[in-house]
Structure 1
Amino acid sequence: MALTPEERGFLRAHPVLRLGVGVAFPPFQYVEKKLGKPAFKGMVSDYVKLLSQRLGVRMEPVFDIPFKQALAMGRAREIDVFPAVADTPERREFLIYTKPYLSYPLVIITRDDSPFVGSVEDLHGKKVAIVKTLATYSKFLNDQPGLAVDFQLEKDIPSVLTAVSLGKADACVVNLAVASYLINTLGFSNLHVAAPTFWGNNKLAMGVRNDWPLLAGILQKGLDSLSVEETSAIVQRWISLRYENPQIPWLVNRVVIPGGIATIVIFALVMWWNRRLRREVTVRERAEQALRESEERFSKAFHANPAAMVISNIDDGKIFDVNDRWISLMGFAREEAIGKTAVEVGGWVDIERRAKFVEKLKAEGTVFDFEADLRAKNKKVKAAVLSAETIEIGGEKVLLVVVSDITERKEMERALRESESRLRAVFDNTPVCLNLKDLEGRYLLVNKPYEEWFGRSAEEVIGKKASEFLPDNMEVETFTDTERRVLESGEVLELDVTIPRAEREVLEKGEPLKKEGKSLRYDGTLHDRYLIKFPVKSEDGSINAIGTVAVDVTERKSMERQLHHAQKMEAVGQLTGGIAHDFNNHLQVIQGNLELVMDGSEGDGNRIRQCVNRALVASQRGGKLTQQLLAFSRKQTLYPEPTDANQLVEGMLDILVRTLGEEIEIKTDLKEEIDPITIDRNGLENAILNLAVNAKNAMPNGGRLTIGCAPKVLADERVTEDGVLPVGRYVEMSVTDTGQGMPPEVLARALEPFFTTREVGEGSGLGLSMVYGFARQSDGHMTLESEVDAGTTVRILIPAARQVDTPAAAEKTGKESTPGAGSGTVLVVEDDPDVRQSAVMVLKAHGYNTREAEDAFAALEMLREDDNVDVLFSDVVMPKGMNGLELAREVTELHPGLR
Structure 2
Amino acid sequence: MTRKRGGPAGGGPESSTPMIASLDSSGQHVARLIEGIRDCAIYMLDPAGMVVSWNPGAERIKGYVAEEIVGRSFSEFYTPEDRANGLPARALATAAATGKFEGEGWRVRKDGTKFWAIVLIDALRGPSGELLGFAKVTRDMTERRLMQEQLHQSQKMEAIGQLTGGVAHDFNNLLTVMLGNLDTLSQILPADQPRWQRCVDQALRAGERAASLTQQLLAFARRQPLKPKPVDINRSLQAWTEMVRRTLPESINVRRIEDTTVGMAEVDPNQLESALLNLAVNARDAMAGAGTLTIETATAHISDNEVRLLPDLKPGTYVLICITDTGSGMTQEVMDRAFDPFFTTKPMGQGTGLGLSQVFGFVKQSGGHIKLYSRPGHGTTVKIYLPQLQDAEVSPAARRQPSPGSRTREETILVVEDNDAVRSFTTDTLRDFGFSVIEAVDASEALKILDRDRSVDLLFTDIGLPGLNGRELAATVQRRYPRVRLLFTSGYAQMPSPTMTSAVMEIPLLSKPFTRAQLYERICQSLDS
Report the TM-score, using the length of structure 1 for normalisation: 0.35
The answer for the alignment partner of 1:652 in structure 2 is 240
Structure 2 CA distance for partners of 1:575 and 1:875, relative to 1, 3 Å:
closer
Structure 2 CA distance for partners of 1:637 and 1:810, relative to 1, 3 Å:
farther
CA distance in 1, matches of 2:459, 2:401: 11
Which of residues 259, 268, 272 in structure 2 aligns to 1:684?
A: 272
Which of residues 850, 869, 872 in structure 1 aligns to 2:437?
A: 850
CA distance in 2, matches of 1:722, 1:716: 10
Cα distance, 1:792 vs structure 2:
1.0
The answer for the alignment partner of 1:705 in structure 2 is 293
Structure 2 CA distance for partners of 1:646 and 1:868, relative to 1, 3 Å:
same
Q: Tell me if structure 1 keeps the 8 A contact 2:300–2:318.
A: yes
The answer for the alignment partner of 1:630 in structure 2 is 218
Cα distance, 1:368 vs structure 2:
5.7
SS where residue 263 of structure 2 aligns? coil
The answer for the alignment partner of 1:776 in structure 2 is 364
CA distance in 1, matches of 2:369, 2:295: 17
Cα distance, 1:743 vs structure 2:
0.3
The answer for the alignment partner of 2:344 in structure 1 is 756
The answer for the alignment partner of 2:412 in structure 1 is 825
1:870 counterpart = 2:457: yes
The correspondence of residues 9-28 of structure 1 with structure 2, limited to 5 A, is: none
Which of residues 13, 19, 23 in structure 2 aligns to 1:384?
A: 13
**1:662 is aligned with what amino acid?**
E
1:789 counterpart = 2:377: yes
Q: For 1:380-410, what per-residue CA distance to the aligned partner results, in whole angstroms no more than 9, with x for missing partners?
A: xxx533xxxxxxxxxxxxxxxxxxxx87776
Structure 2 CA distance for partners of 1:566 and 1:737, relative to 1, 3 Å:
closer
CA distance in 1, matches of 2:352, 2:237: 25
The answer for the alignment partner of 2:324 in structure 1 is 736
Which of residues 834, 838, 857 in structure 1 aligns to 2:421?
A: 834
CA distance in 2, matches of 1:696, 1:788: 16
Structure 2 CA distance for partners of 1:714 and 1:414, relative to 1, 3 Å:
closer
Q: Tell me if structure 2 keeps the 8 A contact 1:667–1:706.
A: yes
The answer for the alignment partner of 2:335 in structure 1 is 747
The answer for the alignment partner of 2:466 in structure 1 is 879
The correspondence of residues 222-621 of structure 1 with structure 2, limited to 5 A, is: 355=1, 357-358=2-3, 360=4, 384-385=13-14, 564=152, 568=156, 572=160, 605-621=193-209
Cα distance, 1:867 vs structure 2:
3.0
1:643 counterpart = 2:272: no
Cα distance, 1:651 vs structure 2:
1.9
Cα distance, 1:874 vs structure 2:
3.2
The answer for the alignment partner of 2:283 in structure 1 is 695
Structure 2 CA distance for partners of 1:773 and 1:820, relative to 1, 3 Å:
same
Q: Tell me if structure 2 keeps the 8 A contact 1:754–1:766.
A: yes
Q: Tell me if structure 1 keeps the 8 A contact 2:326–2:378.
A: yes
**1:736 is aligned with what amino acid?**
T
1:669 counterpart = 2:298: no
Cα distance, 1:720 vs structure 2:
5.7
CA distance in 2, matches of 1:787, 1:882: 47
Structure 2 CA distance for partners of 1:615 and 1:887, relative to 1, 3 Å:
farther
Cα distance, 1:846 vs structure 2:
2.7
SS where residue 793 of structure 1 aligns? strand
CA RMSD of aligned residues (A): 4.5
Aligned residues: 360
Greater relative contact order (Cα < 8 A, sep 6+): 2
Q: Tell me if structure 1 keeps the 8 A contact 2:416–2:461.
A: yes
Structure 2 CA distance for partners of 1:414 and 1:897, relative to 1, 3 Å:
closer
SS where residue 760 of structure 1 aligns? coil
Q: Tell me if structure 1 keeps the 8 A contact 2:157–2:340.
A: no
Structure 2 CA distance for partners of 1:862 and 1:708, relative to 1, 3 Å:
farther
Structure 2 CA distance for partners of 1:802 and 1:889, relative to 1, 3 Å:
farther
Cα distance, 1:668 vs structure 2:
0.9
CA distance in 2, matches of 1:881, 1:565: 34
Q: Tell me if structure 2 keeps the 8 A contact 1:571–1:753.
A: no
Q: Give structure 2 stretches of 5+ with no counterpart.
A: 31-117, 119-136, 486-525
Q: Tell me if structure 1 keeps the 8 A contact 2:252–2:293.
A: yes
Q: Compare CA radii of gyration and give the structure with the larger one.
A: 1
CA distance in 2, matches of 1:890, 1:897: 11
Structure 2 CA distance for partners of 1:763 and 1:565, relative to 1, 3 Å:
closer
**2:345 is aligned with what amino acid?**
T
Structure 2 CA distance for partners of 1:889 and 1:722, relative to 1, 3 Å:
farther
**1:750 is aligned with what amino acid?**
A
Cα distance, 1:830 vs structure 2:
2.0
Cα distance, 1:647 vs structure 2:
0.8
Q: Percent identity?
A: 39
Report the TM-score, using the length of structure 2 for normalisation: 0.57
CA distance in 1, matches of 2:24, 2:220: 66
SS where residue 352 of structure 2 aligns? coil
CA distance in 2, matches of 1:681, 1:689: 12
The answer for the alignment partner of 2:89 in structure 1 is none
**1:710 is aligned with what amino acid?**
A
Cα distance, 1:782 vs structure 2:
1.0
Cα distance, 1:614 vs structure 2:
1.4
CA distance in 2, matches of 1:896, 1:806: 29
CA distance in 1, matches of 2:312, 2:7: 69
Q: Tell me if structure 1 keeps the 8 A contact 2:161–2:222.
A: no
CA distance in 2, matches of 1:573, 1:780: 16
SS where residue 863 of structure 1 aligns? helix
Structure 2 CA distance for partners of 1:662 and 1:876, relative to 1, 3 Å:
farther
**2:334 is aligned with what amino acid?**
V
Q: For 1:567-587, what per-residue CA distance to the aligned partner results, in whole angstroms no more than 9, with x for missing partners?
A: 8499749977x979xx8xx99
Q: For 1:586-641, what per-residue CA distance to the aligned partner results, in whole angstroms no more than 9, with x for missing partners?
A: 99xx89x98xx9xxxx9961111111111111221222222222221212222222
SS where residue 677 of structure 1 aligns? strand
Structure 2 CA distance for partners of 1:636 and 1:574, relative to 1, 3 Å:
closer
Structure 2 CA distance for partners of 1:621 and 1:886, relative to 1, 3 Å:
farther
SS where residue 363 of structure 2 aligns? helix
CA distance in 2, matches of 1:772, 1:661: 26
The answer for the alignment partner of 1:233 in structure 2 is none
CA distance in 1, matches of 2:309, 2:217: 20
The answer for the alignment partner of 1:766 in structure 2 is 354
Q: For 1:301-338, what per-residue CA distance to the aligned partner results, in whole angstroms no more than 9, with x for missing partners?
A: xxxxxxxxxxxxxxxxxxxxxxxxxxxxxxxxxxxxxx
Cα distance, 1:671 vs structure 2:
0.8
**2:462 is aligned with what amino acid?**
D
Cα distance, 1:648 vs structure 2:
0.9
Cα distance, 1:797 vs structure 2:
0.8
**1:855 is aligned with what amino acid?**
D
CA distance in 2, matches of 1:721, 1:864: 54
SS where residue 246 of structure 2 aligns? helix
